[in-house]
Chains A and B, each alone.
Chain A
Amino acid sequence: MGLFILKRIGVMALTALCLTFIVFYLTNLAPNLEKLAKTQGNARMTDEQVESWLARNGYDQPIVSRYGEWLGIVPGWTRVDPETSELTGRCIDPGMDPETAPTYCGVLQGDFGYSTVSDDEVAAIIGGRLLLTGKLMFWAFVIMVPAALVVGVLAGMREGSRLDRSLSTFAIATTATPEYVSGVIFIVLLASSQAGLSPLLTEWGWIDGPTLFLGSARSAMDDANIWNFTLPVMTIALYGMGYIARMTRASMAEVMTAQYIRTARLKGVSFRNIVLKHALRNALIAPFTVIMLQFPWLLTGVVIVETLFNYNGFGWTLVQAAGNNDIELLLAVSIVAVIVVLTTQLISDIGYVFLNPRIRIS
C-alpha cells in the first residue's frame, strides 16, 4: 500500500511537471512575449525595442532555463545594465538591495511572481480568489452530493419501477443541461424582473424585492445569503448531480441483485432495513470515486458560473488571466488547477482501495 501511494505520488509529480511546462511553454511563445512587452512598455515599440525590453527583463534565455527559474531550481537571472551598471535580476524586487536578494525565487520558494494586470503579487490574488471559490464549491457540494445520493438510491432500489424511470429521466435531463444553459434559464425564471416567476410573485405580494433571487453573485463575495447565492450554487450543483445520481443508481441496482440481499429478503428482513443497513454501504463505494473525479468537471463549471454570475473567484481569475495575457497569474492558476485535479484523482484511487477490501494492490 505504501509503495502504491508513493508510486502514485511520483507519477503525479511528473504529470504536474509536464503540465506546468506545457502551460509555461504556451504562455511564453514569442507572440505572447511580444504582446507582453508592448503592454508593459509601449504599444508602439519597434521590433528592436521589443527585443531589448525582453532582454532587459530576462526573457531572452532558453525556455528550459526560464522554466527552471520559475520553478525555483535554477538560480534567478541577474543582469548588469551596461550603461548604468545597475544590477537587476529576477529575484531582485525594485528597491531591494541586490546583496540580500535570494538566489532562487520560484514556485518552490513560494514566489509565484507578479501579476502584470492586477498589479499585485500573484500569491496574494490567488489566495483570496481560492477562498471565494472554496465557498461556492462547498455549498455546491453540500447540495449536490446528498441530493444525488438520495436520487440515485431511490432510483436504484427498485430497478425499472415508475420511481426509477422518472428519477432516471430527471438525472439524464440534468446531465444534458450545461451550466450556461441552466444558469440562463434560472436567471430568466427566478431572477428577472421582466419574465418568469418574480413579477408574478411581486404582484401577489409574496416577495418584497423586485426579484425572487439575485441574478448576480457579486454581493455574495462579502456576504453570501440565500438571495444572492442560491442561483450560482444551484447551477453548479445541478449539472454535477445527474452524473453522480446515475452512477449511484447503477451501483445500487447492481447491489440489489446480489445474493446476500436475496438472502436477507428470504429471511424476512423488511425492505427498508435491507436498503438502509445491507445495500447502502456497498452501493456507495462506486459513487465515492465518481464524486472525487467530479472535481475537474466542476472546475469548468465554476469558471462558467463565476463568469455568468460575476463572482470574482478562481474561475473568473482564470478567464481574466487568460484573456489579458497575464502570464504569471495564468501559470499560478493552472498549477493550482492541475494540483487540485491530480490530488482528487489520488484520493479517489486510495479511497477506492480502502473502501473496497476486495481490491488488493500488489
Chain B
Amino acid sequence: MDMLSWTGNLGPILNPLMLAAAVVFILGFLGQVILSFAGIRPGEVVINPDRTMSVVRTPSDYMLMAMKYAVLLFLTCCVVYIFGGIVQPELEDRGILGQLGRQFLPVWIALIVLYAVSIVFKRRLGLYGKLFDNPIGMVGFGLVMFWIFTAVFSTLVATHGPIDVISQMRNELPGTYLPSGEEGEFPVYLLGGDSLGRDVFSRMVYGAVSVLRIAPLATLFAFMVGVSLGLPAGYFGGKIDTIVSFIANLVLAFPVILLFYLLVTPEIVAAGIPVAMAAVLFIFPILFFVVLFNSRFHTQQGTRNILVAIVLIVGFWLYFSLLSDPDPDSPVRFVPSAIDVIDIPGNLLIVFVSVVFVNSPTVFRIVRGIVLDVQTRDYVAAAQTRGEGPWYIMLWEILPNARGPLIVDFCLRIGYTTILLGTLGFFGLGVSPESPDWGSTINDGRRLLTVYPHPPLPPALALMTLVLGLNLLADGLREESLKD
C-alpha cells in the first residue's frame, strides 16, 4: 500500500520556500563570517551635528537582515504546515507533518491560552511574569510547557496505545498504513513502527508522561534532602558541616553509572538496600515540614499542634504507603492495603531513589554555599538579636532569600534528572522494559540503528528539546532575577 507522504498537499509549495530560506540563512551566515574577517562590521549609530542619529548600512547589515527574514520565512512555513494540518479535511492532504500538527492541537491551544494570559497579566506575576520580557526564557518556557501539555493531553495526542503491538508493522517506515483498516483505529503509524511493531509516535508521547512524572518529583525530593541538610551544615558549621560534607563528597566521588548498577541490580534489590535508602531519604520531607511549622508557630501552641499533627499524619501515611509493597508476601508491608494509596510499580521506587540519592549531594553543596553567603547579612543578625531560634532563621529568613538561585538550579536539575533517567533507561536499568520512557526507547532502537534509524530518533529529539527548554528557562530566569 502507498505510504503517507511527509508533507501532503502543501509540500510542493512550502518545501522549496523552506529550502530557499535555509540556503539564504547558511549563505548569510558564511558571508557574515567572511565579512567579519575582512573587517567589515555592522554599521554603528552616528550622532549628526544637527542632533539626529543615523546608521549607515554596511553589507554586513544586509546579510543580517537577509538571515532574519530567512528565519522568519522558515518559521512561517512551519506554522502554515501545522495550520494546514488542522484545517485540511483529508489525511492524504495533510501529510505526516500536518497530521502531527493536528494531533498536537490540544497542546497548541493550551500553549496559546497560557501565553496570552501570561503576557496580558505579566506585570502582576512577579518573577514568572518577568520571564515574558526575556526572549530566551520565553522560548525555553514554551518548550517545557509543550512537553508538559503533551503529557497532560497524552491520551488525546497519541494515536495508539504505548504497548499496542501490530506485528506486521515491525520497523515500518514513517507514514505506513496499518494492514487492517479497523473502524475507529487511526490508520497510520505516523513516525513508523519500532522493532516490536509499536507506534513510535505514541510511545514518544507516553514517554513524556513517564519522564515528567518522575523527573520533577525526584528533583523536588532531592531538594528537600539537600535543603534539610545544607541549611544546618552551612549555618552551624563545625562538626555537623564536616561530617555531612564528607558524606556528600563521598557520594559525589562515586561514578554515577556504577552507583546505578550497584543499586538497580536485582540481587541488591532483593537485599532490600534501595527500600532502606528510600526509608531514609523520604523521611526528610516530613522532618522539613515539621521543623518549618514548629519553628514559626512554636509560640502559638494551638496552631502549631494542628499544623504539626497534620504534617505528621499525612506525611507518615504517605511515607508508609509509598514504602510498603502491595504484594502480600513482601517483607516490606507496613500498612493494610485499604489505606495503601500509592502503589509504585516494580522498579519505579528504585529508580526514583537512586535519582534522588545522586542529586541531593549537589543540592546540599549549593544550599550550603548560599547559606554561608546569606548568613552574613544584616537581617540575619537582626533576627539573632531578636532572639529567634536557629531553625527559624534558617527556614524563614535565609531560605526565602536564597530562592532565586535555588529556582534556577531547580530548572537545571530537572533537566539533569531527565538525562539521568534517560541514562538509566539506556542501560536497560529503567522502570520496566515495556515502559515508553525515552531512554528505554532509545536503547531499544539503537541495535538496528544503522538500518532502521527512525525508531530512536523521535525520543532522542524529544529528550533533547525538553532538556534544552529547561536549560533556556533556567538561563532566562537567572537573567531576570539578576536584574533586580
Closest A residue to B265 by beta carbon equals A322
Bitwise interface map of B from 462 to 484 toward A, beta carbon under 8 Å scored 1, else 0 = 01100110111001000000000
Q: Which of B271, B451, B454, B468 contacts A176 (CB 8 A)?
A: B468
Q: Which of A31, A185, A188, A196 contacts B270 (CB 8 A)?
A: A31
Nearest chain B CB to A64 CB, angstrom units = 18
- B453, A180: Cβ atoms closer than 8 Å: no
- B426, A180: Cβ atoms closer than 8 Å: yes
* Complex CA distance for A240 and B33, rounded to whole angstroms: 26
Q: Which of B253, B258, B463, B471 contacts A178 (CB 8 A)?
A: B463
Q: Which B residues are in CB contact (< 8 Å) with A299? A: 255, 257
- B257, A303: Cβ atoms closer than 8 Å: yes
Interface assignment of B333: CB less than 8 Å from any CB of chain A: no
Chain B contact residues (Cβ within 8 angstroms of A): what range?
35 or more
Q: Which of B253, B270, B446, B470 contacts A15 (CB 8 A)?
A: B253
Nearest chain A CB to B430 CB, angstrom units = 12
**Which stretch (A42-50, A222-230, A337-345) binds chain B?**
A337-345
Q: Which of B445, B453, B472 contacts A194 (CB 8 A)?
A: B453
Interface assignment of B44: CB less than 8 Å from any CB of chain A: no
Bitwise interface map of A from 163 to 190 toward B, beta carbon under 8 Å scored 1, else 0 = 0000001001101111011001101100
Interface assignment of B28: CB less than 8 Å from any CB of chain A: no
Given contact pairs A29-B273, A181-B463, A192-B449, A334 touches B423 in the complex (Cβ within 8 A)? no
Give the one of B64, B136, B427 with max A CB within 10 A. B427
Q: Which A residues are in CB contact (< 8 Å) with B262? A: 23, 26-27, 322
Q: Which of A176, A304, A333 contacts B464 (CB 8 A)?
A: A176
Interface assignment of A307: CB less than 8 Å from any CB of chain B: yes
- B464, A345: Cβ atoms closer than 8 Å: no
Q: Which B residues are in CB contact (< 8 Å) with A355? A: none
Q: Which of A27, A178, A187, A191 contacts B423 (CB 8 A)?
A: A178
Closest A residue to B456 by beta carbon equals A184
Give the one of A181, A196, A300 with max B CB within 10 A. A181
- B464, A177: Cβ atoms closer than 8 Å: yes
* Complex CA distance for A71 and B430, rounded to whole angstroms: 33
- Per the CB 8 Å criterion, the residue count for chain A at the interface is 55
Interface assignment of B69: CB less than 8 Å from any CB of chain A: no
- B451, A194: Cβ atoms closer than 8 Å: yes
Nearest chain B CB to A189 CB, angstrom units = 9
Nearest chain A CB to B117 CB, angstrom units = 27
Interface assignment of B383: CB less than 8 Å from any CB of chain A: no
Interface assignment of B50: CB less than 8 Å from any CB of chain A: no
* Complex CA distance for A11 and B248, rounded to whole angstroms: 13
Given contact pairs A178-B422, A178-B423, A334 touches B258 in the complex (Cβ within 8 A)? yes
* Complex CA distance for A11 and B360, rounded to whole angstroms: 21
- A196, B271: Cβ atoms closer than 8 Å: no
* Complex CA distance for A303 and B468, rounded to whole angstroms: 23
Interface assignment of B1: CB less than 8 Å from any CB of chain A: no
Q: Which A residues are in CB contact (< 8 Å) with B456? A: 184
* Complex CA distance for A333 and B457, rounded to whole angstroms: 32
- A341, B253: Cβ atoms closer than 8 Å: yes
Interface assignment of A113: CB less than 8 Å from any CB of chain B: no
Interface assignment of A318: CB less than 8 Å from any CB of chain B: yes
Interface assignment of A193: CB less than 8 Å from any CB of chain B: yes
Given contact pairs A31-B268, A181-B463, A337-B258, A19 touches B471 in the complex (Cβ within 8 A)? no
Interface assignment of A219: CB less than 8 Å from any CB of chain B: no
- A30, B271: Cβ atoms closer than 8 Å: yes
Q: Which B residues are in CB contact (< 8 Å) with A30? A: 271
- A215, B450: Cβ atoms closer than 8 Å: yes
- A322, B261: Cβ atoms closer than 8 Å: yes
Given contact pairs A26-B273, A194-B450, A180 touches B442 in the complex (Cβ within 8 A)? yes
* Complex CA distance for A194 and B455, rounded to whole angstroms: 13
Interface assignment of B142: CB less than 8 Å from any CB of chain A: no
- B453, A341: Cβ atoms closer than 8 Å: no
- A338, B449: Cβ atoms closer than 8 Å: no
* Complex CA distance for A324 and B430, rounded to whole angstroms: 18
- A window 16-75: CB within 8 A of B: 18-19, 23, 26-27, 29-32, 35
Q: Which B residues are in CB contact (< 8 Å) with A180? A: 422-423, 426, 439, 442-443, 446, 460
- A319, B253: Cβ atoms closer than 8 Å: no
- B267, A325: Cβ atoms closer than 8 Å: yes
Nearest chain B CB to A346 CB, angstrom units = 11
* Complex CA distance for A115 and B463, rounded to whole angstroms: 37
* Complex CA distance for A318 and B262, rounded to whole angstroms: 11
Closest B residue to A12 by beta carbon equals B253
Interface assignment of A296: CB less than 8 Å from any CB of chain B: yes
* Complex CA distance for A14 and B253, rounded to whole angstroms: 12
Q: Which A residues are in CB contact (< 8 Å) with B270? A: 31
Interface assignment of B54: CB less than 8 Å from any CB of chain A: no
Closest 7 CB pairs of A and B: A322-B261, A176-B468, A31-B267, A188-B453, A176-B467, A29-B271, A181-B460
Could you list 26 examples of A-B contacts with CB < 8 Å?
A: A26-B262, A31-B266, A169-B136, A172-B468, A172-B471, A173-B468, A176-B471, A177-B468, A178-B419, A178-B467, A180-B423, A181-B422, A184-B446, A185-B457, A185-B460, A192-B451, A194-B453, A196-B453, A296-B256, A307-B426, A318-B261, A325-B265, A325-B267, A338-B255, A341-B255, A345-B253
Q: A177-B468, A178-B467, A304-B423 are in contact. List 20 more A-B contacts (CB 8 A).
A: A11-B246, A26-B273, A30-B271, A31-B267, A31-B270, A31-B271, A176-B464, A176-B468, A177-B464, A178-B422, A181-B461, A188-B457, A194-B451, A194-B452, A299-B257, A303-B257, A304-B426, A325-B267, A334-B258, A337-B258
